[in-house]
Amino acid sequence: MKHYFLIAALVLLSLVGLTSCGKDSPDFPPSTKSEVGFVHSVNIGENTYISLFKDLSVSSLNTDNALVLPKGAFTFVYKNKIYVTDTEHLYKYIPKDGILVQEGNTMLFPSGAKATYITFLSEKKAYVSCLGLGKVWIIDPSSMTKTGEIDLSGYSLGKLAGDNNPEPCASIIRDGILYVTLCQLKSAYSCEKGAHIALIDTKTDKPIKMISDPRATMASSMTPAGDPFVDEKGDIYFYCVAMFGYQPGVKEGFLRIKKGEQDFDNSYCFTLADVNLEGVKGNRTSYAYNKVYGGNGKVYGYLNIPGAASNPPDYVHDKSFQAFEINLYNKTCKKMNFSGTVGWATSICKSGNNIIFGMSTDQGMGYSVYHMDDGSYEKLKVKVSGAPYMLHELK
């Protein structure tokens, strides 16, 4: 039987509680609704704590007013509302007087659904990828009800072996088409070679086709990781994680679908592992982890640096994930002026012209800021209780 979460990702999540801090005393008064600017989550022990904060002027954050969910709950933001999935339930919250208040009913998914990703078409329609079912649910976010589903079992590459689940995950909508990444798992440590994407017409909710590209493998990290995204030119970029380095003979890298096209661009593939990385041990990466598109062809994210890890790897203590600026157009990578972080503390968010990094480095645990306008840094600007997990600006 296949395992539906990548082993490396599970290991990182399970180890968070081993080194996370406990609660601190309150450091600032509760915000009013108009003051709230961010929703963030941290992992402590076996739980994920989700809360609000005003802006980066706060010196530290605690979990006193946080929602408490099972560890690994994912947050999504759409039109100032916060949607949270623990993979079998979906909740909707609104900011009110500095805290998150549930709005509407709780949606329940079948056991083993692994509802991991939400893409919104409008306030009345969204798509939820159910990794464990091989389906995409169609929901009405306003009423928190299911309105339909899209069965993608026909796109499974393992059908001859009795596997009818292509593992749909991260998705994006462009020009009326929903692009859904398919992980195509074969086992806990292997997947079908290549990148595979299902295209769905958002008017009819009918599958159009599946496209594939052999140059890079596994077009999703199986958790929300900051891609796919559309750049200013209207091109979609997908990052392929290549089974996080567990599978020999496959490559990671960025692929794209150009504006006006519905197939991969044969002229573009950016393999990060081929780049000589200055300033890190071994000068190589094996894969990119969480990331955000900053604009002008630049992606900011964390690269796993094998040369910075212990032998064998120590997933609790190794600070082997390094922040980088990745230029998709020039195919270059530049090390950010931050220390390395552990893999279980790698959140990231764009806010205006700033990139916010949530890390656990030798300097401490919290949020650091990179100002894209002038290239300046503010290190450990906000300290947090717990391991930074997810961060979103409310807008």
Note whether residue 200 is domain-resident: yes
**CB environment 129-142: b (16+ within 10 A), e (fewer):** bbbbbbbbbbbebe
In contact, 259 and 231? CB cutoff 8 Å: no
**pLDDT value at 7 more than 70:** no
Candidate from 30-34, 36-40, 293-297 with smallest mean pLDDT: 30-34
- State mean pLDDT over 110-128: 98
Q: Name the residue with higher pLDDT: 346 or 17.
A: 346
Note whether residue 1 is domain-resident: no
The CATH number of whichever domain residue 16 belongs to comes to 2.130.10.10
The number of domains in the chain is 1
Note whether residue 38 is domain-resident: yes
- State mean pLDDT over 101-109: 98
**pLDDT value at 48 more than 70:** yes
In contact, 172 and 228? CB cutoff 8 Å: yes
Candidate from 14-28, 37-51, 201-215 with smallest mean pLDDT: 14-28
pTM tops 0.75: yes
**pLDDT value at 34 more than 70:** no
Note whether residue 360 is domain-resident: yes
Note whether residue 75 is domain-resident: yes
Note whether residue 22 is domain-resident: yes
Distance between CA atoms of residues 325 and 344, nearest Å? 20
Domain hosting 331: range is 7-393
The mean predicted confidence, pLDDT, of the chain is 93
Please give the share of the chain, as a percent, with pLDDT higher than 90. 89
Q: 278-336, pLDDT tens digit by residue?
A: 999 999 999 999 999 999 999 999 999 999 999 999 989 999 999 999 999 999 999 99
Note whether residue 363 is domain-resident: yes
pLDDT band for 35, please (50, 70, 90 cuts).
low
Q: 329-355, pLDDT tens digit by residue?
A: 999 999 999 999 999 999 999 999 999
Note whether residue 332 is domain-resident: yes
